Structure 1
């Protein structure tokens, strides 16, 4: 029987200086899956640098928190829970958390595979399933 389900406790967590990601659907986990889906958590006052996904469109759906988003030549625009953002492949974009709580997003790549580029980030770390990231307070 083919596996068609993933559960958060069974997924590793990819961490960065700005937050973390759990990928629930990838072609590695579900062979032949044409998309990638994951939950992204951006910590307060953090964000990620402007970047592109040359081969994938991206959809971001905000499930909690608030922040600012750029897409292409757009100025920063506010995003909050319930908002969705479409980013065409090859378009520069960034996301930044402006709130006091975590900014939680669902990220979808179509076609999947763009998540592999994150593994080359200098602050990339993987935490095994079942272990929680520890965020340290700067004094």
Structure 2
């Protein structure tokens, strides 16, 4: 099954955006989740965990700082892969002026639903381009 980025909604937050291409709710029979995460310059997401799923982060482009399991943050850059065990607290921060683009998976899938409870969550329907404005 082909999934085009223009055919899926975009989640936005104060720190960036996410497009989930494969999720168990969207693709019949899918057991994992796959999406692209964009972390805006100078932004990052708060420390959190996924009690029931492991996460894998692949850095498509950009640079940032990654914390896993409350350890010391370490640099990540294009080509790096980070494994986050189920239940491990983690956070990602973009320390540069360029966007940080990540490919993210959850196994098993479904953890993306928790993001809908974030206070800065906004869903943009497929085909709508999200805009950021300076405050």
TM-score range, shorter chain: over 0.9
User: Which protein is richer in strand relative to its size?
Assistant: 2
Please say if 1:116 is aligned against 2:113: yes
What is the TM-score when the length of structure 2 is the normalising length?
0.98
Distance 1:134 1:30 in 2: 27
1:106 alignment partner, one of 103, 107, 115: 103
Any conservation in 1 of the 2:25–2:110 contact (CA below 8 Å)?
Answer: no
3-state SS of paired residue (2:114): helix
Alignment of 1:71-110 (within 5 A): 71-110=68-107
Moved over 2 A (4+): none
TM-fit CA distance, 1:73: 3.3
Distance 1:114 1:28 in 2: 11
Gaps of 5+ in 2: none
RMSD: 0.7
2:31 alignment partner, one of 20, 34, 45: 34
What is the TM-score when the length of structure 1 is the normalising length?
0.95
Question: Aligned residue pairs: how many?
Answer: 135
Alignment of 1:15-30 (within 5 A): 15-30=12-27
User: Alpha-carbon deviations, 1:19-71, whole Å to 9, x = none?
Assistant: 00000000111112110000000000100000000000000000011000000
Paired position in structure 1 for 2:62: 65
